[in-house]
Chain A
Amino acid sequence: MTKEVGLSHVTVEFGDYTAVDDAHLTIAGGEFFSFLGPSGCGKTTILRCISGFQEPSYGKLLIGGRDMRGIGPNKRPTALIFQNLALFPLMSVAENIAFPLEVRGVGKKERRRRADELLELIALPGQGDKRVDALSGGQKQRVAIARALAVEPDILLLDEPLSALDLKLRQHMRTELRAIQKQVGLTFIYITHDQGEALTMSDRVAVMSRGKIQQVADPATVYNAPATGFVASFVGENNMFEGRIAAPAGPDGTAEVDLGLGARVRVQAAPGLGAGEAVQVFVRPEALEPGGTAPNRLTARLEKVEFEGAMRHLLLRAADGTALRVSQVNTGGDAGPGPDAPVELGFAPAQAIALPPSELARAG
């Protein structure tokens, strides 16, 4: 069974510090939903509110339409997977998995049966009598998931559970987590600072910064149409240019912008941005193309080429000192332009966006 989770104007204050500022959103039953943001953005606090370790200072938290105020973490239909997993080292694997059943007074035989069933689900059959220490990182991960699933919660909460794993295993576990979610059909709420994780696994992502939710959307929208300067610069790489609206957006949704570095370009913009307003223009490194025929043109001097296997990154500097980054798929042979060469870059209006200036945006 799945239940939707509602945050109704949830604010959490610690003394003078506002950890979560007016979070208002609904997570649908069965959804894989991620909170993405840098450390200290309030995402873990939201998770602790949902699990019951933290009461909101203001606002309401609803699970399946029911107000959760005053209901302890042991009475909520949620299960939390901790960053460090928090497996019990003195219990065997099966005892760990069956712990939630044990505290509910389920008999020993039934507990063991259910533990074996869950071990089957996480592809660790027959490993129930092992010590937790004897498992590898990925196996521990899966035991933690099995333990959380033992009492069939409605909502599974995951607090950066993959951060301790190495890169290969992390990528593998992403796929696996997603598969487990599809299989059990629960609502997964996932906390991470790793955009790769958030984008690959989630149905929807909430991007957070300094306690505020910046955008709630599906991964493609978050990447292609960031709602704020913070989202544009935090999710993926981005080139940022300061500029001013020269002509407000027309019916095609694009506006003309004078860039600080001395070029006039046509980019996506909200209709509300009037002529003369300061904006920040974001262009993805992979949207910038040396040469080409795109209508927006920039000139910059090549400083360095970073080679990264599948990709190649050109680091350039415009005449006014703005640093630029261009990412190209490595096609082999072509060595590309030499150092110090002037390079003309083009990008399409559809691949650039002008947003109101944000101090949280940092140039990619």
Chain B
Amino acid sequence: MKPRGSLSAFAERNGIPVTLYLLTCVGIWVFLLVLLPQVTMLDYSFRANLPPSKVGGPEDVYTLEHYRYFLLGSSANPDGWNALDIGVLVKTLVAALFVTLFDLAICYPVAFLLAKGVRGGGARLLILALIVPFWVNEILRAFAFRILFGATGVLNETGMMLGLWEAPIDFIGSDVALYAGLGYAYILLMIFPLYNAIESLDSNQLEAARDMGASWAQVHRRVVIPYAKPGIASGCTMVFMLSAGALAAPQILGGPSNLWFTQLVYQWFNSGGNWPRGSAYAIILLVVCVGFVMFMMRVFRVSIGAIGR
């Protein structure tokens, strides 16, 4: 083998078996687990919903019907727009954005404290305290939140016992439980990128800024936050994407009148029995989310490369 290119150099250093193993793993990961399902989904989304007997027949043609349905609703729709589904998508995005900002507000102080405030053993203990609750599985955690926020839940019982309010507050119907559940589900994904970014900031810069007369608010605004921007972007992106794509928490914690866009996708796949339409809805969610994140990154002047750091 001629020693040419980084791959052959790698093979020379580590041996052919290792190289083949790595190539296979990466290949399976990228092709089988990422690319193929998405491409299949994309393909599905442009197909008509046919019974199995008609698949491959003359009616099995590519169509924009499902995307048209998302925008305009059924052909019988009088007002022209599918206000319901578009509304659910917009509401999902706004809610996911809210969850992201909520998490950022909670996690920034924690990450800062973790990175610059506590030393040695204290930091390890704090990290442990953050991680251990996530050993409880997601569904269980969602139900625990439901119990906590329910009409006869701990929160209502305590509040009424203390005389803070008279009748039980409908935390679930007003989506408080949903936001709390979603917010809590992704705090680690927010804390760790923030922690990573802030941790590498030279502590002397904080002291220098303090020494030059900056208040703590100014230190954060001018020194810490600009420095941690890639970490903030990375955390926000993950939390936003995962919140917008969450299913279990909205299913369990969402109010009866409140639909998350993923629930629509789920309905089309399951009770609706319309896989192509479900696929189209999933693709719409993906594209809109990616577009929104790219737009926000443009607004805040973060490059995509910075997120990987």
Chain A residues in contact with chain B, CB under 8 A? 51-53, 72-75, 78-80, 82-84, 86, 88-91, 99-100, 102-104, 147-148, 150-151
B218 adjacent to A86 (CB under 8 Å): no
Instruction: List residues of chain B with CB within 8 A of the CB of A53.
Output: 207, 210-211
Task: Kindly provide the distance from the CB of B78 to the nearest chain A CB, expressed in whole angstroms.
Answer: 55
A74 adjacent to B213 (CB under 8 Å): yes
A103 adjacent to B222 (CB under 8 Å): yes
Give residues 209-242 of B contacting A (CB, 8 Å): 209-215, 218, 222-223, 226-227
Instruction: List residues of chain B with CB within 8 A of the CB of A86.
Output: 202, 204-205, 207-208
Instruction: List residues of chain A with CB within 8 A of the CB of B227.
Output: 89-90
* Among candidates B211, B223, B226, residue contacting A51 with C-beta atoms closer than 8 Å: B211
Chain B residues in contact with chain A, CB under 8 A? 202, 204-205, 207-215, 218, 222-223, 226-227
A103 adjacent to B211 (CB under 8 Å): no
A90 adjacent to B211 (CB under 8 Å): no
Determine the distance from Cα of A147 to Cα of B218 in the docked complex, in whole angstroms. 17
Determine the distance from Cα of A2 to Cα of B204 in the docked complex, in whole angstroms. 26
Determine the distance from Cα of A1 to Cα of B211 in the docked complex, in whole angstroms. 19
* Among candidates A51, A78, A83, A103, residue contacting B215 with C-beta atoms closer than 8 Å: A103
Instruction: List residues of chain A with CB within 8 A of the CB of B222.
Output: 88, 91, 99, 102-103
Instruction: List residues of chain A with CB within 8 A of the CB of B212.
Output: 74, 79, 99-100, 103, 147-148, 150-151
Can you name 7 A-B residue pairings with CB atoms under 8 Å?
A: A52-B211, A53-B210, A73-B207, A73-B210, A75-B213, A79-B211, A103-B209
Q: Which 8 A-B pairs have the closest CB atoms?
A: A86-B208, A86-B204, A100-B212, A103-B214, A80-B211, A82-B204, A74-B213, A103-B218
Q: Among A72, A75, A86, A88, find the residue whose CB has the most chain B CB atoms closer than 10 A.
A: A86
Instruction: List residues of chain B with CB within 8 A of the CB of A100.
Output: 212-213
Interface majority SS on B: helix, strand, loop or mixed?
A: helix
Instruction: List residues of chain A with CB within 8 A of the CB of B211.
Output: 51-53, 73-74, 78-80
B208 adjacent to A80 (CB under 8 Å): yes
Task: Kindly provide the distance from the CB of B156 to the nearest chain A CB, expressed in whole angstroms.
Answer: 44
Instruction: List residues of chain B with CB within 8 A of the CB of A72.
Output: 210
Determine the distance from Cα of A151 to Cα of B212 in the docked complex, in whole angstroms. 8
Determine the distance from Cα of A51 to Cα of B208 in the docked complex, in whole angstroms. 10
Determine the distance from Cα of A155 to Cα of B243 in the docked complex, in whole angstroms. 52
Instruction: List residues of chain A with CB within 8 A of the CB of B218.
Output: 103
Instruction: List residues of chain A with CB within 8 A of the CB of B214.
Output: 74, 99, 103
Instruction: List residues of chain A with CB within 8 A of the CB of B207.
Output: 53, 73, 80, 82, 86
Instruction: List residues of chain B with CB within 8 A of the CB of A51.
Output: 211
B208 adjacent to A82 (CB under 8 Å): yes
Task: Kindly provide the distance from the CB of B303 to the nearest chain A CB, expressed in whole angstroms.
Answer: 14
Known: A88-B209, A88-B223, A99-B212. 17 other contacts (CB 8 A): A72-B210, A73-B211, A74-B211, A74-B214, A75-B213, A82-B204, A84-B202, A86-B202, A88-B205, A89-B227, A90-B226, A99-B214, A99-B222, A100-B213, A103-B213, A104-B213, A148-B212
Determine the distance from Cα of A100 to Cα of B214 in the docked complex, in whole angstroms. 7
Task: Kindly provide the distance from the CB of B171 to the nearest chain A CB, expressed in whole angstroms.
Answer: 42
Determine the distance from Cα of A150 to Cα of B205 in the docked complex, in whole angstroms. 17
Task: Kindly provide the distance from the CB of B188 to the nearest chain A CB, expressed in whole angstroms.
Answer: 27
Closest A residue to B227 by CB, please name it: A90
* Among candidates B202, B210, B223, residue contacting A74 with C-beta atoms closer than 8 Å: B210
Instruction: List residues of chain A with CB within 8 A of the CB of B226.
Output: 90
Instruction: List residues of chain A with CB within 8 A of the CB of B223.
Output: 88
Instruction: List residues of chain A with CB within 8 A of the CB of B202.
Output: 84, 86
Closest A residue to B203 by CB, please name it: A86
